Amino acid sequence: MSRETGSHIGRRRSAAKDDNSAVYRRRRQEIAEAAIRVFDRLGLKGASISAVAAELNLDRASIYYYISSKEELFDEIMRTVAERNSTMAREISLSPLPPLQKLRELIVAIMVSYGKHYPLLFIYIRENLSHVPEERSTWSTDMREINRTIENAFIDIIEEGYADGSLRNVGPAKVVAFGMLGVVGWTHRWFRPSTSEFSAENIGETYADMILGGMTP
């Protein structure tokens, strides 16, 4: 793509974004959904704008009117979903519910989110995003902070349960919290909403019963 053509597309993209019409939002959502399917098949590294365009039977130039790169699209979608999850986790952690009920709700809610946004969160889990280019360093830093909010919600609830005796102390709260997140995260190895005989909510409830059964005094 020439500099002149790139500049022209950039201006068109900015104008479309500023307009924020229903048509623009719908088309960008279609591109986002197609991109997630491509990321799932090829991985973020193997994916390309051309592959996303082919998924929608569009030419590549049309895609550039809506996004500047596959990384920009992935980062934006991932941040939005992760922020919602971190807000949800914090609200559950700060709620007046008993610790055992908080943990149950949080485990189920995280698993339901994985199913609702499938396969986005699973792509994020399996991609090695610990080393990203400089231009994505701000996003990477923000994502680590968002993830830390979710981790801390688990840790805080566990420590609360240890303190009031409603949860059996089975080990360091951080280790237990990471174990819970690991159990849910590992679901990406076998769970496919379209073919699974179990819903994400069923799976989350099973995980919660399995984990919390061993922590009940």
Render pLDDT for 15-46 as a digit per residue (tens, 0 to 9).
555 556 788 888 888 988 898 899 888 888 88
Q: What is the mean pLDDT of residues 75-84?
A: 88
pLDDT at residue 214 in the model:
92
Which CATH number is 71-212 given? Answer: 1.10.357.10
pLDDT at residue 4 in the model:
45
Which helix (H) or strand (E) covers residue 54, if one does? Answer: helix 49-55
Task: Write the CB contacts of 60 (distance below 8 Å, at least 6 apart in sequence).
Answer: 49, 50, 53
Residue-range domain boundaries for the chain: 3-68, 71-212
Q: pLDDT tens digits for 133-165?
A: 777 888 888 888 999 999 999 999 999 999 999
Averaged pLDDT score across all residues of the chain: 87
Task: Write the CB contacts of 54 (distance below 8 Å, at least 6 apart in sequence).
Answer: none
> Alpha carbon of 46 to those of 59, 117, 127, 159, 192: distances in Å?
19, 21, 11, 42, 21
The architecture (CATH level 2) of 3-68 comes to Orthogonal Bundle (1.10)
The amino acid that residue 1 corresponds to is M
CA distance 73 to 12: 17
CA distance 77 to 117: 10
Q: With beta carbons less than 8 A apart as the criterion, state whether 40 and 52 touch.
A: no
